A and B are shown apart, each in its own frame.
Chain A
Amino acid sequence: MTGLPLLPRLPACRGPGTGMARTAIAGNRVRGTGLWGAWVVGHRTDGRRIGQWVTGDRIAGQGRRDVKQPAGQMSRIGAVRSLFHRFAFLTLVGTAFSLMLLGKADTVLVDRLRASVGDALTPVLDVLARPAANISDMVENVRGLASIRAENARLKDENARLLAWQAVAQQLEAENRTLRGLLNFTPAPPASFISTRVIALTEGPFVRSALINAGGRDGVRKGQAVVTGAGLVGRIDRVGLRSASILLVSDFNSKIPVVIEPSRNRAILVANKNRLQLIYMLGNGPVAPGDRVVTAEDANVFPPDLPVGVVSGIDDGTILVEPFVRPADVEYVRLVDYGLGGILRSDSEAGDVR
Chain B
Amino acid sequence: MKPGLWHRLDHIARSLVPVLLILGLVIVSVVPTRLPGYGTVAPMLAVIGVCHWSIVRPDLVRPSIAFGIGLFEDILTGTPLGLGAFVLLMVHGVVVAQQRFFLGKSFFVWWWAFGIVAFAAACVKWVGFVAVTGSVADPLTVFLSYALTVFLYPLLGRVFASVEVSLAREG
Interface residues of A (CB under 8 A from B): 14, 18-21, 31-39, 51, 53, 56-57, 59-61, 85, 88-89, 92-93, 95-100, 102-104, 110, 113-114, 117-118, 121, 124-125, 128-129, 132-133, 136, 198-207, 209-211, 245, 252-253, 273-274, 326-331
B168's partner among A33, A56, A98 (CB-CB below 8 A) is A33
> Does any Cβ of A come within 8 Å of B141's Cβ?
yes
> Does any Cβ of A come within 8 Å of B49's Cβ?
no
Find chain B residues with CB under 8 A from A104 CB.
80, 132
> Does any Cβ of A come within 8 Å of B136's Cβ?
yes
Find chain A residues with CB under 8 A from B34 CB.
132-133, 136, 328-329, 331
Inter-chain contact B32/A201, CB cutoff 8 Å: yes
Q: How far is the CB of A211 from chain B (nearest CB, A)?
A: 7
Inter-chain contact B31/A128, CB cutoff 8 Å: yes
A98's partner among B57, B82, B128, B161 (CB-CB below 8 A) is B82
A132's partner among B32, B40, B85, B135 (CB-CB below 8 A) is B32
Q: List 16 A-B contacts (CB under 8 A).
A: A14-B100, A18-B99, A31-B171, A32-B169, A37-B165, A53-B169, A61-B103, A85-B63, A121-B76, A128-B28, A200-B76, A202-B30, A203-B42, A205-B126, A205-B141, A328-B35
Q: How far is the CB of A193 from chain B (nearest CB, A)?
A: 21
List 5 other contacts, CB 8 Å, given A273-B137, A274-B40, A328-B32.
A34-B168, A95-B82, A103-B80, A203-B42, A252-B135
Inter-chain contact A204/B40, CB cutoff 8 Å: yes
> Does any Cβ of A come within 8 Å of B17's Cβ?
no
Inter-chain contact A206/B129, CB cutoff 8 Å: yes
Inter-chain contact B63/A19, CB cutoff 8 Å: no
> Does any Cβ of A come within 8 Å of B4's Cβ?
no
Inter-chain contact A60/B81, CB cutoff 8 Å: no
A206's partner among B35, B81, B125, B169 (CB-CB below 8 A) is B125
Interface residues of B (CB under 8 A from A): 27-28, 30-42, 55-59, 63-64, 67, 70-72, 75-83, 85-86, 89, 93, 99-100, 103-104, 110, 125-126, 128-129, 132-133, 135-138, 141-142, 145, 161, 164-165, 167-169, 171
Q: How far is the CB of B165 from chain A (nearest CB, A)?
A: 6
B104's partner among A56, A113, A132 (CB-CB below 8 A) is A56
Q: How far is the CB of A317 from chain B (nearest CB, A)?
A: 19
Inter-chain contact A328/B36, CB cutoff 8 Å: yes
Residue of B nearest to A93 (CB): B89
Tell me the interface secondary structure of chain A in the complex: mixed
B99's partner among A19, A110, A113 (CB-CB below 8 A) is A19
Inter-chain contact A32/B161, CB cutoff 8 Å: no
Inter-chain contact B81/A124, CB cutoff 8 Å: no
Find chain B residues with CB under 8 A from A210 CB.
32
Residue of B nearest to A18 (CB): B103
Residue of A nearest to B125 (CB): A206
A273's partner among B83, B93, B133, B138 (CB-CB below 8 A) is B138
Find chain B residues with CB under 8 A from A133 CB.
32, 34
Find chain A residues with CB under 8 A from B141 CB.
204-205, 273-274
Q: How far is the CB of A84 from chain B (nearest CB, A)?
A: 12
The 4 closest A-B pairs by CB, nearest first: A32-B168, A203-B39, A99-B82, A60-B104
Inter-chain contact A39/B169, CB cutoff 8 Å: yes
Residue of B nearest to A114 (CB): B75
Residue of B nearest to A15 (CB): B100
Find chain A residues with CB under 8 A from B77 CB.
202, 204, 207, 209
Inter-chain contact A96/B32, CB cutoff 8 Å: no
Cα separation A274 to B83 with both chains bound (whole Å): 21
Inter-chain contact B58/A39, CB cutoff 8 Å: no
Inter-chain contact A21/B171, CB cutoff 8 Å: yes
Cα separation A317 to B19 with both chains bound (whole Å): 50
Cα separation A103 to B30 with both chains bound (whole Å): 21
Inter-chain contact A124/B168, CB cutoff 8 Å: no
Q: How far is the CB of B28 from chain A (nearest CB, A)?
A: 7
